Chains A and B, each alone.
Chain A
Amino acid sequence: MVYTLALRNFIHDRISLIVTLVGIVFSVVLMAIQIGLYYGSQEVITAMIDHSGAQLWITPIGAQSFDDSPLLKGGEKYAALSRPGVAAAIDVAVSILNWKRPDGGSQAVVIVGIDPEDKGLVPWNLIAGSTEAIHQPNAVIADKAYLGDLQVKGVGNTGEINDQKAVVVAITDHIRSFTTLPYLFTTLTRARSYIHAAPDQSGFVLVRIKPDAKVEAVQADLKQSLRDVDVLTNQEFLDRSVHHWLFATGAGAALIAGAVLGLIVGVVVVAQTLYASTKDHLNEFATLRALGASSGYIIRVILVQAVLSAIIGYLIGMAEALVINWATSDTQLVILITPMLAFSLFLITLGMCVFSAISAIVKVTRIDPAMVFSR
């Protein structure tokens, strides 16, 4: 009967029910989107590093992230290849340049110079054209999400980079940047030409080590043998990039603050409505107490109401969050709602509602059953 009574009380006052659910839904959507954006940001920040297949990165000293780094001095690739334990060293040139659009306007882009044959950082998720087409004259590979920014419609369309013609030869899907600047893949040689780099200069050197070598040992050796560079493991570079974009810039803190705000709003709304509902039903709880119900019995009624609110509010809220996620999937906004995040949010919502029930529980445990005799 605890469940029956809780359910009936829950749905009895429709206005209170709607207010409770709106509060929880708002909270769940806000938390899901904010945390989803946080995870999505992490994913785009680390996408290039994740897909590099490198165990070690040779970077300019203090390079904070893949998108935002000066050039190395040059010659690091061959210096690395000469060291024991290094199986491959692959140059990648990265720089922010201007893309001149067909309408004469300009758009900042991140040029990524690679040679697909090196198998260092080959564009993935191709939905049009081929990787090999990158060797065609003036070829670049762009992502679907940025075609509008670049003012191109597809393969074969052109623009200009540093007054040189550039032709889109292939299109990727979901290779997006945290800065919202479009990545444009081109050959290493052409990238060096765009950014006026020397033939042995690059932004990073990806290092793959031999199967029998230890990452830490090769890293230590490279640090000792190469000057004016940082030698980072893949994980170290991931951490540094995430820290730079999400914490040094404050973007991550803002996203987390948004999620916390959602949680607070949820707690306040649910606590308020549960407390009001308990007050409305105070005489009934006093009657229960007079009939001999234990405190635990009455608390269970309130907790079941809280859990019901959590389950219904969560289902509606998560459905809305998934719709928003789906609606923004082809935009530059990356919201990543993983099954683990969805499950964690369910537990958070449940905890939020149970926590919110505390004021109502305190109220009801202090109830005076003698009030049943008041006229």
Chain B
Amino acid sequence: MSKKVAMLEARGITRVLGEGEAQVTALKGVTLSLRAGDLTLLMGPSGSGKTTLLSIFGCILAPTAGTLLIAGQPTAGLKAEGLAELRRKNIGFIFQSYNLFPTLTAVENVMLALDVRRKVVADPRKVACDALERVGLGHRLKSYPSKLSGGERQRVAIARSLVGDPSIILADEPTAALDGVNGKAVMELLADIASDKSRSVFVVTHDSRILPFADRIVRIEDGSIVSDVRQKRALASEKAS
């Protein structure tokens, strides 16, 4: 149906949490594919399985059943180091609470991600500076996270997720801790990143303010996908391609 390439494919993902009487099925056979050039929002009430699905997509949590392919590679059977390698090569994370390293400056935070990803570049500092320039933080390169506003921290986290060119960006409530202006700025950035046809952006959110930025809105309830809607802009984009 779609001409876009699937960067991530999940088929029949089930995840059971806990044991015995406390056992909960957090995900019930979720099938979803993330395609290049899409900004997909995953929305749902608390406890619906959003974060569990994000953790599985990020190769941080293994599904109890089902198949997950990252850039065409199945994750089944991979041990912790193999999953870390998959993350390193293909996935960029953006966290709700930024998770920046407080002892490193903005540019060092970005350089660290480059170092972790083992990207061999002639000038890592320049690559990191360019990433920060792209998110509008060229003037805050040497600032420590404690000296940055929430919006600026999240933009550093976005720059960090971008270096090394991962094909999938997973964002966990990226605007939850931001005011309207900063939230809008962050979403504009993510939409811009998603416009890159080699990359897919997947955002878990409660924030209905960011709906206009999405190409696709997936709703999850009680561990199951209940709706999967593509918005007009995305549809127009597909027709154009």
Q: How far is the CB of B212 from chain A (nearest CB, A)?
A: 25
The interface stretch among A48-56, A251-259, A280-288 is A280-288
Q: Cβ of A15 < 8 Å from any Cβ of B? A: no
Binary CB contact string for chain A from 335 to 375 against chain B (1 if under 8 A, 0 otherwise) = 00000000000000000000000000000000001101101
Contact of B93 among A4, A9, A297, A372 (CB under 8 A): A372
Chain B residues positioned under 8 Å from A284 (CB to CB): 99, 101-102
6 closest Cβ pairs, A-B complex: A292-B88, A8-B103, A292-B87, A1-B115, A287-B99, A293-B116
Q: Cβ of A130 < 8 Å from any Cβ of B? A: no
The answer to whether B58 and A1 touch across the interface, beta carbons within 8 angstroms, is no
Residue of A nearest to B108 (CB): A4
Which residues 163-220 of B have a CB within 8 angstroms of A? 172
Chain B residues positioned under 8 Å from A289 (CB to CB): 84
Q: How far is the CA of A294 from the CA of B80 in the complex (A)?
A: 9
The answer to whether B61 and A370 touch across the interface, beta carbons within 8 angstroms, is yes
Interface Cβ pair total, 8 Å cutoff: 77
Given A291-B93, A369-B60, A373-B54, A1-B87 contact (CB < 8 Å): no
Residue of B nearest to A291 (CB): B116
Q: Cβ of A333 < 8 Å from any Cβ of B? A: no
Q: Cβ of A227 < 8 Å from any Cβ of B? A: no
The answer to whether B103 and A370 touch across the interface, beta carbons within 8 angstroms, is no
Q: How far is the CA of A289 from the CA of B89 in the complex (A)?
A: 13
The answer to whether A375 and B84 touch across the interface, beta carbons within 8 angstroms, is no
Residue of A nearest to B157 (CB): A287
Given A5-B112, A373-B55, A375-B97, A292-B85 contact (CB < 8 Å): yes
Chain A residues positioned under 8 Å from B93 (CB to CB): 290-291, 372
Q: Cβ of B117 < 8 Å from any Cβ of A? A: yes
The answer to whether A372 and B95 touch across the interface, beta carbons within 8 angstroms, is yes
Q: Cβ of B81 < 8 Å from any Cβ of A? A: yes
Given A292-B87, A294-B84, A370-B55, A4-B113 contact (CB < 8 Å): no
Q: B residues engaging A (CB < 8 A)?
A: 51, 54-55, 58, 60-61, 80-81, 84-89, 91, 93, 95-97, 99, 101-104, 108, 111-113, 115-117, 160, 172
Q: How far is the CA of A205 from the CA of B96 in the complex (A)?
A: 87
Which residues 290-321 of A have a CB within 8 angstroms of B? 290-295, 297
Contact-residue size bin, chain A (C-beta under 8 Å from the other chain): 20 to 34
Secondary structure of the A side of the interface? helix
Given A4-B104, A292-B88, A297-B116 contact (CB < 8 Å): yes
**Could you list 17 further interchain pairs (A-B, Cβ under 8 angstroms) beyond the known A8-B103, A12-B103?**
A8-B104, A284-B99, A290-B58, A291-B87, A291-B93, A291-B113, A292-B89, A293-B84, A294-B81, A295-B80, A295-B81, A295-B84, A372-B60, A373-B51, A373-B55, A375-B96, A375-B97
Q: How far is the CB of B26 from chain A (nearest CB, A)?
A: 12
Q: Cβ of A2 < 8 Å from any Cβ of B? A: yes
The answer to whether B103 and A5 touch across the interface, beta carbons within 8 angstroms, is yes
The answer to whether B91 and A1 touch across the interface, beta carbons within 8 angstroms, is no
Chain B residues positioned under 8 Å from A291 (CB to CB): 87-88, 93, 113, 116-117, 160
Q: How far is the CA of A294 from the CA of B115 in the complex (A)?
A: 11
> Could you give 5 example pairs across A and B, Cβ below 8 Å?
A291-B117, A292-B86, A292-B89, A294-B84, A370-B60
Q: How far is the CA of A295 from the CA of B82 in the complex (A)?
A: 11
Residue of A nearest to B124 (CB): A1
The answer to whether B111 and A292 touch across the interface, beta carbons within 8 angstroms, is no
Chain B residues positioned under 8 Å from A372 (CB to CB): 60, 93, 95, 99
The answer to whether B103 and A9 touch across the interface, beta carbons within 8 angstroms, is yes
Residue of B nearest to A6 (CB): B103
Residue of A nearest to B103 (CB): A8
Q: How far is the CB of B210 from chain A (nearest CB, A)?
A: 18
Q: How far is the CA of A297 from the CA of B117 in the complex (A)?
A: 11
Chain A residues positioned under 8 Å from B54 (CB to CB): 373
Q: How far is the CB of B196 from chain A (nearest CB, A)?
A: 20
The answer to whether B55 and A1 touch across the interface, beta carbons within 8 angstroms, is no
Q: How far is the CB of A363 from chain B (nearest CB, A)?
A: 15
Q: How far is the CA of A8 from the CA of B87 in the complex (A)?
A: 25
Residue of A nearest to B80 (CB): A295
Chain A residues positioned under 8 Å from B115 (CB to CB): 1-2
Residue of A nearest to B85 (CB): A292
Q: How far is the CA of A289 from the CA of B95 in the complex (A)?
A: 14
Identify which of A290, A292, A373 gathers the most chain B CB atoms within 10 Å of its CB: A292
Chain A residues positioned under 8 Å from B81 (CB to CB): 294-295
